[in-house]
Amino acid sequence: MFLSLDGIDGVGKSTQLQLLVEKLQQLGREVITCREPGSTQLGESIRKILLNDWETPIDVVSEMLLYMASRAQLVQEVIMPALERGQTVIADRYLLASVVYQGCGDRLDTDSIWDVGRVATGGLLPDLTLVLDLPLDEAASRLGEPDRIESRGDAYREALRKEFLSEAENRPQQIQVVDARGTKDEVADRIWSVVEKIVESDAR
Ligand code: TYD
């Protein structure tokens, strides 16, 4: 089983990912997690360039391809082998993040990004992507020091939120939105009510 979690920065994704891992482990599943960009040697090098290198100019197409390069390596090196071993994979962001974040720039359309993503991932998509959704001001209050992407301002963040919701509407089989307001246990319960159905239908 392969799940991914996504959403704008500050929605509580990392906390919820950890709670979901624990829940699945309690059910006896072997779970591995990965984060994007990163989780391989190449991916972590790319992460440094994309998020923390403020010196190097990066064009939006180059940026998208770097995220994809990190993802291609992750699929080959980590995700596919884990799925073949029968493990459950929970990804902290996946292809949808590129579609939304790079698609909300001014030059790339989301269909092209899905297309490049098909090549990068060899067509491997999660059984389900959960999008945690919060109003911008609530998400902003949870942010720490901004990275390169987070520093792009409120209009961009508002566009990101809308794009996450619209992708979910266009691909309801693939992407589900979870309301991320409330306590972390309330959100975890909402997530579980969605994931439970997939767990039940997953033979592994
Ligand atoms: P994030 O999950 O927020 O990492 P952390 O919690 O460690 O800060 O991801 C880092 C940033 O990368 C985030 O602002 C979104 C951005 N991003 C993209 O723009 N495109 C992508 O394809 C991915 C995976 C992430």
Q: How much is the pTM? A: 0.94
Provide the pLDDT confidence category of residue 105 given band limits of 50, 70 and 90: confident
Q: What is the pLDDT of residues 124-139, one digit of tens each?
A: 999 999 999 999 988 8
- Please tell me the predicted confidence (pLDDT) of residue 203: 63
Q: What is the pLDDT of residues 61-94, one digit of tens each?
A: 999 999 999 999 999 999 999 999 999 999 999 9
For β-strands 175-179 and 31-35, DSSP reports them as unpaired
Percentage helix, strand, coil for the chain under 3-state DSSP, each rounded to 5: 55, 15, 30
- The atom of ligand 1 lying closest to the CA of 36 is 24
Distance from the CA of 75 to the center of ligand 1, in angstroms? 17
CB of 15 closer than 6 angstroms to any ligand 1 atom = no
- Of 12, 14, 190, 2, nearest to 95 by C-alpha is 2
Structural domains of the chain, with CATH? 2-203 (3.40.50.300)
**What secondary structure does DSSP assign to 2-13, as a single string?**
EEEEE-STTS-H
The token duo for 41 is 């040697």
Helix (H) or strand (E) holding 44: helix 41-47
CB of 9 closer than 6 angstroms to any ligand 1 atom = yes
Is the separation of the CB atoms in 190 and 177 below 8 Å?
no
Distance from the CA of 99 to the center of ligand 1, in angstroms? 12
Backbone torsion region of residue 87, taken as left when φ is above 0, otherwise alpha when ψ lies between -120 and 50, otherwise beta? beta
Q: Which residue is closest in CA terms to ligand 1's atom 7? A: 35
